[in-house]
Each structure stands twice: as structure tokens, then as C-alpha cells.
Amino acid sequence: MIPAPPISDPNSNASPEPCDANDKPVVASTSTQDAAKRAGLRLPYIIAGSLSLALGIIGIFVPLLPTTPFLLLAAAAYSRGSTRLYQWLINHKYLGPYIRNFREYKAIPLKAKIASISLLWATIGFSIFFAGMPLPVQILLGAIAIGVTWHILSFKTLKKGKNP
């Protein structure tokens, strides 16, 4: 697995380019982009990143469609296909924090946990009790809701002071 390029902090007054441990500017994934370009994979990476981005945005509003994994996938694809799109996504006002928070802290903000679990249970609860589904489907939906809730709660909660 190729490591993701460093993330630049949009709130920093320092140079907009990310730096390594020796304060040397690091360009997002130049070698992997060059390899992708030579192999003719630049466009497929951009398309895959765009599809993942679309699914991630939809996931903000649809409880069973995860947002962060699709945004992480979009960032990985963009890092191999387009430095410009990668930087745009990482520094995006609304989408960038999803990626930065998860990559840097492996944590989810409390507000996001509450919103996602509440929306998940409201949607699945409605489906179980009012959609007239057969009992095996109701049990399956309940099991899915429990599994997704467990998964979300298994991540650390991001403290307010750590928000980028």
C-alpha cells in the first residue's frame, strides 16, 4: 500500500506546501503521479476519485452509506491522479476536516457520532416498525444498525481543541 501524501493545514500561516521532518517542501505524491501518468492511469484515478467523492457526499445524507471511507478513497485516488484535485479536497472547507481528522487522529467528532447514529436509528427504526417488512428483514436491519453503531462508537471521540 502506498502511503498517502502529507496533509497541509489550511489554517496555517506557513507555506501552503506540506513539509517533511526536515522542513523540505513535499509535493503530493509526485512519484506515484509520474508512474500513473506513464501507465496511462491518471484519468482512471481521477474518475475513481470523483465517483468516491460523489458517494462520500451522498453518504453525508444517507445513514447507511459511509462518508469518511469514500472521502479517504477519493483522496487516495486524487493523490495518484491529480495534485490539484487532492489539494482541493484536503483543503475543502467542509470535506477536508473529515479526511484530516480521520488521518491525523483516527477519531470522529462527537457531533458527527451523535448525528450519524441518530439518523441511522431513525431511518432503520422507521423501516423496521412502519415499512411492513417481513420479520427476517427486520431482524437483519436491526443487526446492521447494531453493527454500524458499534463500528462508529469503536473510534475515539475527537476533542474540540483538536479540530483543524
Single-letter code of the amino acid located at 121: W
Half-sphere exposure for 36 (CA within 13 Å, toward CB): 20
Question: Contact at 8 Å (CB) between 4 and 25?
Answer: no
User: What's the confidence (pLDDT) of residue 100?
Assistant: 83
pLDDT value of residue 16: 47
Report how far residue 147's alpha carbon sits from residue 60's, in angstroms, rounded to the nearest whole number. 19
Give CA separation, 132 vs 54, 90, 127, in Å. Answer: 31, 43, 8
Q: What span, in angstroms and rounded, lies between the C-alpha atoms of 30 and 71?
A: 20
Inter-residue contact 87 to 28 (CB < 8 Å): yes
Question: Which residue, chain included where needed, has cell 484515478?
Answer: 45
Every domain of the chain and the residues it spans: 22-105, 108-164
Per-position pLDDT tens, the chain of length 164: 455 555 555 454 444 455 445 555 555 555 665 665 666 788 999 999 999 999 989 988 876 677 878 888 999 999 999 999 999 999 999 888 878 878 888 888 888 788 888 888 988 999 888 988 899 999 999 999 999 899 889 988 887 755 44
C-alpha cell at 9: 493545514
Residue with cell 477536508: 96
Q: What is the pLDDT of residue 120?
A: 85
Evaluate whether 144 touches 124 at the Cβ level (below 8 Å): yes
What pTM did the predictor assign? 0.56
